[in-house]
Amino acid sequence: MKVVVDEEKCVAAGQCVAAAMDVFDQRDEDGIVVLLTENPPAELADDVRNAAAVCPALAIRIEE
């Protein structure tokens, strides 16, 4: 699994961090998404898919 985030689209809702905190974080200065790992391990795959699904700005793309 490969994760791609779009900082331009991100609206800092924080949904991805709530869903998968080992994969996503937010910048302190404006809350914009920070990708902690591009290739998350298999055991986090469901959380990451969930994070992409709840992102209101559709800023997370997953390449399986």
Partner 1 sequence: MSEAETELAAPDAEIFDYPGARDRACPFAPPAGLRALNDTAPVSRGRLWDGSTPWLVTGHAAQRVILSDPRVSSNDKQPGFPYPNRAMAENAPHHPLTIFNADGADHTRIRRMMTAPFTRNRMEKLRPEIQRFTDELIDSMLAGPNPADLNAALSLPLPSLMICALLGVPYEDHEFFQEHASLATRSDKTAEQDRVAMEALGGYLAGLLQKRMEEPSDDVISDFAGRIKAGEVTLPEAVMLCMILLIAGHETSASMITLGTALLLQNPEQLALLRGTDDPKAVANAVEEILRYLTIPALGQRRIAAEDIEIEGVTIKAGEGIVVALPAGNWDPAAFPEPEKFDIAREARHHHAFAWGIHQCLGQQLARIELQVVYGTLYRRVPTLRLAVGFDELRFRRDDALAYGLHELPVAW
Chain residues binding partner 1 by CB under 8 A are 8, 11-15, 17-19, 21, 25-26, 28-32, 50, 53-54, 56-58
The DSSP H or E segment spanning 26 is strand 24-26
Give me the torsion for CA of 31, 10, 63, 35, rounded to 10°.
-20
Distance between CA atoms of 56 and 35, rounded to whole angstroms? 17
Q: Looking at beta carbons only, is 4 or 54 nearer to partner 1?
A: 54
Q: What are phi and psi of 54, to 5 degrees?
A: -95, 0
CB of 40 to partner 1, least distance (A): 18
CB of 32 to partner 1, least distance (A): 7
CB of 2 to partner 1, least distance (A): 23
